[in-house]
Amino acid sequence: MGLIQNILAVIVVLGLLITFHEYGHFWVARRCGVRVLRFSVGFGKPIWSRVDRHGTEFAIAAIPLGGYVKMLDEREAPVPEDQLDQAFNRKSVWQRIAIVSAGPLANFLLAIVAYWALFVAGTTTVAPVIGSVAPDSPAERGGLRAGQEIVAVRGEAVRGWDEINLKLVAAIGMSGELSIEARADATSEPRAYRLPVENWLVRQDPPQPLPSLGVTPWRPSFPAVLGQLVPGEAADAAGLQPGDEVVAVNGTPVDDWMHFVDIVRASPGESLSLEVLRDGERRDLAITPGRNELEEGVAVGYIGAGVAPVEWPEEYRREIRYGPVAAVGQAVSRTGEMTLLTLDAIRKMLVGLISPSNLSGPITIAQISGDSARAGLESFVSFLAYLSISLGVLNLLPIPVLDGGHLLYYFMEVVRGRPVSEQAQAIGLRIGLALVGTLMLMAIYFDLMRLW
């Protein structure tokens, strides 16, 4: 069931992103007087198509990993004399720039609309209160203490752990003092703390900002009550059910969920005797955690079960909501922030500050799509917006084959006063295909490594 949900979620996500991207090209091409021959979502043989009154074929193809807008162009096929004014290659360089850039811009617009909807509907987050600080960690040396609420990172206000993580990831490679503002409670004044860092998160795979600082977020006590079970894994095979509360393991009482997790992780392949409370009755069950091999030969146990959700205390909950007008500015600001973060991540990957193993391909995208869909509409829309921004940024990179490569040629044409030669474009095409192909293979390889 999880695999099917992942597949359906990624089809919906990619379908929306591709449709918006290609519609951007299509809409501007039509307004520039270019005849569009085909608008296709997906590659390969069409499984559905229709032709409109302008002669454009709209198609949905079998391979949902991309799309294209095919325009009338003398470089691809002979064009009748009476249609030359509708050919893409006959348009001015500025019109061609507008048509090509419209696809990525449509992705940024989609992200703005998604964030606007989230801000208008309202999003709920939890207050970033520190649960514990590790001894001799940057957080402890900087003076942070358990119970404090973080209100700003590097001078920028934050309202939840997700925003804090974004600000910390943006500081990858930093050496010196990381500025964090925190307050003891909601009524006290914030105080600035300076945390010493050196080559912050450089090549950490994956980056773990909070553990690297020695900060553990505060969480309410989670009783060892099972939520979701993964079909076929140890918990399911042992007869455990959602709602079961584990009260003892091998005769030792279980304090809470994390205590139970620690026991399971420390017992790969070992038989455990569980005492479970189900519908007010105690039951005895036996379970053998699976074995998950980590780096350096370390193995941990797992049973394929999640904890049942627990309501957060009201004083720790924060609702972020804006009016329709104010939400526009917030949505544009969030889109700009995520765009700059994506560009900075690409730069840091090129200079070696971020490991290339953080690249994600279609498998990881499918997994995250499914997870975000199961987590609720808010999580799904937020992921859709972020992926739309990533698609827009990647397509604007100056690599031949991508929209950014075409824009590079057209801006060179503006400067030189004449188009880039067909031979130079052909060489660039081969280089671009090699680069994009290599990146795709690397992303799929790292996807498979994460699965294993």
Answer yes or no: do 330 and 435 share one domain.
yes
Answer yes or no: do 422 and 362 share one domain.
yes
Q: Does residue 313 lie in a domain region?
A: no
pLDDT, tens digit (0-9, with 9 covering 90-100), for 120-169? 999 888 899 999 999 999 999 999 999 999 999 999 999 899 899 989 98
Answer yes or no: do 356 and 441 share one domain.
yes
Q: How far apart are CA 349 and CA 359, in angstroms?
A: 9
Range of the domain at 292: 226-308
Whether 265 shows a pLDDT value over 50: the answer reads yes
* pLDDT at res. 36: 95
Neighbours of 174 (CB within 10 A): 17
Evaluated on CA atoms 94, 99, 102, 104, the torsion sign reads negative
Q: How far apart are CA 66 and CA 21, in angstroms?
A: 10
Strand runs labelled E in 294-363: 299-302, 305-307, 317-320
**End-to-end C-alpha distance for the chain, whole angstroms:** 20
Q: How far apart are CA 264 and CA 251, in angstroms?
A: 14
pLDDT, tens digit (0-9, with 9 covering 90-100), for 187-242? 889 999 999 999 888 877 778 899 899 999 998 888 899 988 888 888 999 999 99
Q: In what order do the strands lie in the sheet with 281-287?
A: 252-253, 245-249, 272-278, 281-287
Quick one: tokens of 232? 């076929």
* pLDDT at res. 155: 92
Answer yes or no: do 384 and 278 share one domain.
no
pLDDT, tens digit (0-9, with 9 covering 90-100), for 302-359? 898 888 888 888 888 888 899 999 999 999 999 999 999 999 988 988 888 888 877 8
| Mean pLDDT on 421-425 | 89
Minimum mean pLDDT range among 261-265, 371-375, 431-435: 371-375
Whether 295 shows a pLDDT value over 60: the answer reads no
Percent of the chain with pLDDT over 90: 57
SS (H, E, C) 158-169: CCCHHHHHHHHH
Answer yes or no: do 251 and 196 share one domain.
no
Domain count, the chain: 3
pLDDT, tens digit (0-9, with 9 covering 90-100), for 360-389? 887 788 778 877 877 788 888 999 999 999
- Band of residue 185 on the pLDDT scale cut at 50, 70, 90: confident
Q: Does residue 16 lie in a domain region?
A: no
The CATH code of the domain that includes 165 is: 2.30.42.10
Q: Does residue 41 lie in a domain region?
A: no
* pLDDT at res. 230: 83
Answer yes or no: do 292 and 385 share one domain.
no
Quick one: tokens of 182? 């925190």
| Closest by CA position to 389, among listed 17, 107, 31, 81 | 107
- Band of residue 393 on the pLDDT scale cut at 50, 70, 90: very high
Q: How far apart are CA 109 and CA 105, in angstroms?
A: 6
**Which residue carries 């044409």 as its tokens?**
413
Answer yes or no: do 273 and 333 share one domain.
no
* pLDDT at res. 296: 56
Q: How far apart are CA 396 and CA 390, in angstroms?
A: 10
Q: How far apart are CA 225 and CA 223, in angstroms?
A: 6
Whether 103 shows a pLDDT value over 80: the answer reads yes
One DSSP character per residue, 338-356 reads HHHHHHHHHHHHHTTSS-G
Taking CA atoms, 373 is separated from 52, 333, 369, in Å, by: 34, 25, 6
Q: Which of 197, 217, 237 is the last residue of a domain?
A: 217
The residue annotated as part of the active site, out of 22, 149, 181, 275, is 22
* pLDDT at res. 336: 95
Reported as type and span, the H/E element at residue 432 is: helix 422-451
Whether 46 shows a pLDDT value over 70: the answer reads yes
Prediction pTM value: 0.82
Reported as type and span, the H/E element at residue 197 is: strand 191-197
- Band of residue 448 on the pLDDT scale cut at 50, 70, 90: confident
* Catalytic residue list contains 22: yes
Answer yes or no: do 376 and 409 share one domain.
yes
* pLDDT at res. 1: 47
**Which residue carries 């017992």 as its tokens?**
267
- Mean of the per-residue pLDDT values of the chain: 89
Answer yes or no: do 447 and 364 share one domain.
yes
pLDDT, tens digit (0-9, with 9 covering 90-100), for 395-420? 999 998 899 999 999 999 999 999 99
Whether 53 shows a pLDDT value over 80: the answer reads yes
